[in-house]
Structure 1
C-alpha cells in the first residue's frame, strides 16, 4: 500500500526558491493558472503555490490552494518530472465555480502537454 501524504520534502518553502522558479523557469498557461516549471536536482518534484490577495478573500484563496495541493498529493507517484512547480492563480479565476475536477483537468492537460520538454 502506498501512502499519499504531502510531506515537507515535496514543498517549496523559501522565497529564493520561488524567485528562482519565476526568473529561470518556463512559464505555462492554463485557463485558471500560470505554472512555472524549473528542472531541479532533487530526488523528486517540489510544489509551491502563490495566490494573490487580489483574487479574493482568504477563505477562497485557501480553498484554491487546497484544491491544487490535493491534485499533487493524489498524483504524486505519476508525476515523473524532477522539477520545481510554482502554481500561480490568475486574477480572472472564477473561485465560486472552481471544482477539484476542473483543477485536475487543467493540470493534467498541462503535464501531458509538456512531457519531458523542460529537461
Structure 2
C-alpha cells in the first residue's frame, strides 16, 4: 500500500497559500504548488467555523478518501492543500470526489491514466 505524505508545518501551508495556484468550487478550495520531491504531499484544513469536531473530522476523512482513491491520477511532484467550505457539510463521498477531480483538472495536475500506462 502506498504511503500518503502529509503537510503538517504551518510555514508549508503559508507557502502554498501565498505562492500556490488555487481553484475553488462548491465543496472545497484546492491549492497546489510544485515541490522538489519525487512525490506528492497532502495538507488538509477545516476551520473551526465549519462545525464541531465530529463534523470537521468527517470532512477530513472524506478528503483523505477522495485523494486516496485517485492518488495515482495526480502528477507527481506537487504539494496540495484542501480547504473545506461550509457547503461540504452533508456532502457524500462521491460529491467530494467529483469536486476534487474537477479542481485538479482545472489546475492541470491530473494526468490521464491511459497516458501513464502507454508511456
- Class of the TM-score when normalised by the shorter of the 2 chains: 0.7 to 0.9
**1:94 and 1:34, CA in 2 relative to 1: closer, same or farther beyond 3 A?**
closer
SS at match of 2:38: coil
- 1:105 corresponds in structure 2 to 98
4+ residue stretches of structure 1 with deviation over 2 A?
Answer: none
Q: TM-score, with normalisation over the residues of structure 1?
A: 0.84
Q: How many residues align?
A: 110
Separation (CA, whole Å) in 1 of partners of 2:31 and 2:107: 12
Does residue 68 of the first structure (1) align with residue 46 of the second (2)?
no
Where does structure 2 lack aligned partners over 5 or more consecutive residues?
110-119
- CA shift at 1:45, angstroms? 1.0
- Partner secondary structure for residue 86 of structure 1: strand
DSSP-derived class of the 1:18 partner: helix
Cα deviations by residue, 1:57-112 (Å, 9 ceiling, x for unpaired): 0001000000101111222222114211111112x3241x2110000000111222
Which residue of 43, 49, 57 maps to 1:54? 49
Q: Is residue 55–residue 93 contact of structure 1 (8 Å, CA) maintained in 2?
A: no
Write 1 or 2 for the structure with the bigger share of helix.
Answer: 2
- Report which stretch shifted further, 26-35 or 107-116: 107-116
In 1, distance between residues paired with 2:32 and 2:61? 20
